[in-house]
Structure formats: structure tokens, C-alpha cells
Structure 1
Amino acid sequence: YGFANAFLGEIEAPSPTALQTIGQMSEVGFMAAMPFFITRLGVKKMLAIGMLAWVARYLCFGTLNMPLVIVGLVLHGICYDFFFVASQIYVDNRASVDQRASAQSFIAFVTLGVGMFVGAYVGGYIVDQYPSPYKVAVTKTTPDGKSEETTDIVPEWKADGSAGFAKEF
């Protein structure tokens, strides 16, 4: 979810940052409901539902259909709480008292450390390989002196500091 704001901006969603709060509100709601779900479903079923919710979330994002993208944002709560929080609860229940802190640290390292690092690295690689042009609103003056609102594509910046379209000029 490190690329969520950039993704929402590229699909021209209205107020991407504000839209992301939908996921945060969903997370708070599902966190409050965790005791209910744990007693009804158990931790293992919650983990499975959480993993399936991640798949559904990214399928919704992949459609580029705004109502489904919003469903994907709402799914953040169930994804995060049913996977990350439930996995911490599962580890807490399974580990002996003297190993609990180490087990919790290990699961946090694997999911939030290595997992996030690999995800950001792979995501960055994909963005570098398949860049999409950014559009910005520009006011131009026409030859007859009138102002005209238009959009221009901002060239991508290369690792050497040059703009992607610099060679064309």
C-alpha cells in the first residue's frame, strides 16, 4: 500500500489522500470488531479471510473502476486486521511465555520488515519499468493572446538527473 496515493492520483481519483482515509476508517471499525470475529471464526479462519481479502483488494484496484477501487480501499480494514493483527494474536497464543517476545519480533520482522521491503523494492522496479506519464494542469497563451487551460505530460526523471524527453528537444 506504499504506492496507493500515487495509484489513486494516476487514475485521476478525486482527492486521493482523502480517499485513503476510507481504508483507515475501515481498519478502526474492523479492529473494534476483532473480539466478535475471533470468538465466532477463530484466528485461523480470520487469517484465511484476511489473505483472501488482500487478493480481492488488489483485484478491485486492477479493474481501474472507481466504485471497485473504493471497495478495495474499504477492504484495507479486513486485510490488515484479519491478517497482521490476527497473526500477532496467533503467535501470542502459540508461543510459550519465554519465547513470546522473540516470536512476536520475528513475525513483525517477516511481515512488516522483509515483506514491506521486498514489496517496496518490487513495486519500485515495476514503476521504473512501466512508467506512466504524470499530467499537470497548465495555462498556455495562444498566438492570439488568449489564455487556455490544458494538461501537459511531465517527463519522467532518469537516474542520471535528466528528463525522459530531453533528447527529443
Structure 2
Amino acid sequence: MNIKLRLTILNFLELFVFGAWLISLGGYLGGQLHFEGIQIGKIFTTLGIASLVMPGIVGIIADKYLNAQKLLGILHIIGAGFMFFLAQTKDFDTFFWMMLGYLTVYMPTLGLVNTVSYSILTSNKLDIIKVFPKIRVWGTIGFIVAEVAVGTLGWAQNNMQFYFAMGISLLMGIYAFTIPNVPLSKSENKSLIQRLGLDAFVLFKEYKMAVFFIFATLLGVVLQISNAWASEFLRSFTADYPNSFAVTNSNTIIALSQVSETLFILTIPFFLKRFGIKTVMIMSMLAWFLRFGLFGVAAPEGIGLGYLIMSMVVYGAAFDFFNISGSLFIETETDSKYRGSAQGLFVLLTNGVGAVLGGMGSGFVVQHFTTETGRDWLSIWLVFAAYALILAIVFRLIFKYKHNPEVIKEIKH
């Protein structure tokens, strides 16, 4: 089989597993298991907790002790076991620890898939810059297909989503062992501190970088809000709109967010060259403001459905414009000595610290606006929208950066 096709399947399966449960989890926890807002928020903090240290540890293991493709397979097989127990777990404490255990083995695989792909493409003398993006986009497609499949099959509100993820994770684990061998690194000698990007904290001495990293953390909060509550929000319309497509096929509606994400990636070169990194980052924050604000006035039918779809469309700009332009900002503004560590710190702060804060903080907000008669979703989304708007205003005022179009002549994804 063609090596590019084999890696395409690998990337497709990797994110298919994630899409099978991530988006529908919030609705399942609130509906089937009747967890409270704070409890749902705590479950979603496991994404951040697992992202803090484990990717760095697993990276060292893959470099020095166990071939990356084999480690990838082992982690997915273990993950399948956790999914089996998650499908049968009903109480909060057990579910929390089972989910943390699962994400401890899954989150590092996101980086391992890239490592395996890069190594094999290089060994086959293929241009990573040209070839890998076409392979990686199938990961996003896999996420979307899984998300829609779970919703279409009626599994978004029950534990079948975990059995489904378990089966695909087991398949992914077995398939990883068939991938060509990735040799152990003989030159890589980074410590765990370096892998986590902690040595890049020296960059906080510079005002511009300190502000950037602080806001990277604060933007990590809003992504977790979107992951945790979009599905639960649409489930809340069940009583008033039981036959609405947006309610019965909530995963399909939410999948428009990922479709938008793939499209907005293509616009980033134009926006960065025309407006500069600072403005594009502010656009991201304003897009988050619109995402949450539109949720506040959305409904499954009528004009409210239009607002709901618009909220999915702006997600692409909200997610891509900060994550990709932020990574590029680090690439162009940091000394080469700290560049790799700074990229690691960026991921740690957004996907780790920001995710933990987002899970906990959003849980408290939702719980505050929850009464015996239900949740006041308008107030909840307006709070989240106000948070994003305040970030945009403050960032505009205190982040000092002058756009130089010559810095970015061409952006390759």
C-alpha cells in the first residue's frame, strides 16, 4: 500500500477516535447521567490535566526506549480498555478517574501521530511541507465523520459512543503496529523540562512575550467552554423542539464548526499578510464573542436556527486565527535557542492550563445559572461572550506589536 495512503488512514483513525465522543460528551453527562454543571466542568478539566505532563513523558519514551509506532499502538489499545469501563460507569467519581486515565494515554498520541508521520515521510524522501498537510486534513475529516456518525446513529446521548470509540481505538492500536518502523532517536537529548517548554519561561522577561503567553492561557479557557457545553446546550431544547433536526442531529450541526475550521485555515495567509498577527488574534477573540453571543439567541428553528448555524461558521476563525497565528508569532519573534520550547509552552498553556481553568470556570458559571426549572442559557452564553469581548479589548490595549508584512512572505500549512 502507498505510504501516503497508509499515513492518511493513520491520521484519519487518530482523530476519528476523538470525534466519536468529545463533542457529545457534555450532553451525555448532563442528560443520561444527570451530572451537575460543576461536575461536567470537572470532567472536562481532565483534558487539560492530561495535557500538562504526559505528552512530554511519552515523547522521551518514544525517542529513547520504544519505537513511536509501537508506543502509539500500545496507548490506543490501553485507551480502548478505558473506553470499555467508561461505557459502564455511572457515578461521577469513577467516571472522572476513568476519563483522566483514558486521556492520559490518548492525549500524547496526538503528538506521536505527527512524529510517526514526519519520520516516515522523511525516510521515504518526501517533502513534509508539501505532503503532510494533505495527509493531516484527513484527521479533521475523521473527526467530523465520527461526530456525524455518532449523532446519526442516535448514540450521542447514550454510552454507545464509548463502545464505538473503543472499537475504533482498538483498530487504531492494531493498525499502528503495521506502520513502518520509526527508529529511536540517537541525537535527541531534551529533558522533560525542555519538552514541556518550561525553560521558555525566561521569555516572560520580555513584556511582549509575557502578554502573549498570558493571553494564550486565557484563550485556552474559551475552547474548553465550547467543547463542554455546545452539546448540552442543544440537548436542552429537547422538551420544546423534540423533532427539530438541530436537536435530534445535534452532532451534525456542531460538526459544521470543524468544517468551518478546515476552510478558515485557507484564509490565514491572506489575513496575516494584510492585517498582521495582532489584528488576526483580536479577530479570533471577537469571533469567540460572536460564537457565544450567537448561541445566546440561537434556537433549533426559525431565525434562531440561522444564528445557531452562524455560530458554527465563526468557530473556524475563532479557533484557527489564534492557534495558527499564535504559533507563527512564536516562530518569528523568539530566539532560535528557545523557539522549540516556546512552542511547547504555547501548547502547555492553551491545551493544559487554559483547559483546566476553562473546565472549572465554565462549570461554576453554568451551575450558578442552573435552577430546579433548568438552565438560563441566555445568561450563561452572555457571560462567556462578555469574557471573550473583554479579552479582545484588553489585548488590543496592552499588546504592543507593529505589523511588518515582510516578516511573513508565505505561510505553509
Same fold (TM over 0.5): yes
| Greater RCO (CA < 8 Å, at least 6 residues apart) | 2
Report which of the two structures shows the higher radius of gyration computed on alpha carbons: 1
1:23 paired with 2:257, answer yes
Query: What residue ranges of structure 2 are gaps of 5+ in the alignment?
Result: 1-225, 239-245, 299-303, 376-413
| 1:121 Cα deviation after fit | 1.0
Report the Cα distance in structure 1 between the residues aligned to 2:355 and 2:234, rounded to whole angstroms: 20
Query: What residue ranges of structure 1 are gaps of 5+ in the alignment?
Result: 135-169
| Cα distance per residue 1:14-40 (max 9 Å; x no partner) | 311000111111100011222222222
1:84 paired with 2:323, answer yes
Name 1:106's counterpart in structure 2.
345
| Cα distance per residue 1:23-63 (max 9 Å; x no partner) | 11110001122222222222111111111111111111111
Between Structure 1 and Structure 2, the one with more helix by share is 2
| 1:124 Cα deviation after fit | 2.1
Q: What amino acid is the match of 1:115?
A: G
| Cα distance per residue 1:54-106 (max 9 Å; x no partner) | 11111111113321121111111000011121111111111111101111111
Name 2:235's counterpart in structure 1.
9
Between the two proteins, the alignment pairs up a number of residues equal to 134
Report the Cα distance in structure 2 between the residues aligned to 1:62 and 1:22, rounded to whole angstroms: 18
Q: What amino acid is the match of 1:7?
A: F
| 1:127 Cα deviation after fit | 3.4
Name 1:53's counterpart in structure 2.
287
Partner SS for 1:11: coil
Percent of residue pairs bearing the same amino acid type: 28
Q: What amino acid is the match of 1:80?
A: F
Report the Cα distance in structure 1 between the residues aligned to 2:314 and 2:234, rounded to whole angstroms: 15
| 1:133 Cα deviation after fit | 5.0
Name 1:118's counterpart in structure 2.
357
What RMSD in Å do the two structures reach over aligned CA positions?
A: 1.9
Q: What amino acid is the match of 1:21?
A: A
Report the Cα distance in structure 1 between the residues aligned to 2:290 and 2:236, rounded to whole angstroms: 21
Report the Cα distance in structure 1 between the residues aligned to 2:335 and 2:260, rounded to whole angstroms: 32
1:40 to 274, 299, 307: 274
Report the Cα distance in structure 2 between the residues aligned to 1:69 and 1:88, rounded to whole angstroms: 29
| Cα distance per residue 1:109-162 (max 9 Å; x no partner) | 22221111111112222334416659xxxxxxxxxxxxxxxxxxxxxxxxxxxx
Q: What amino acid is the match of 1:99?
A: Y
Report the Cα distance in structure 2 between the residues aligned to 1:10 and 1:92, rounded to whole angstroms: 43
Report the Cα distance in structure 2 between the residues aligned to 1:90 and 1:35, rounded to whole angstroms: 13
Q: TM-score, normalised by structure 1?
A: 0.72
Report the Cα distance in structure 2 between the residues aligned to 1:9 and 1:67, rounded to whole angstroms: 18
Q: What amino acid is the match of 1:82?
A: F
Q: What amino acid is the match of 1:6?
A: E
Partner SS for 2:335: coil
Report the Cα distance in structure 2 between the residues aligned to 1:48 and 1:58, rounded to whole angstroms: 16
Report the Cα distance in structure 2 between the residues aligned to 1:97 and 1:19, rounded to whole angstroms: 42
Between Structure 1 and Structure 2, the one with more strand by share is 1
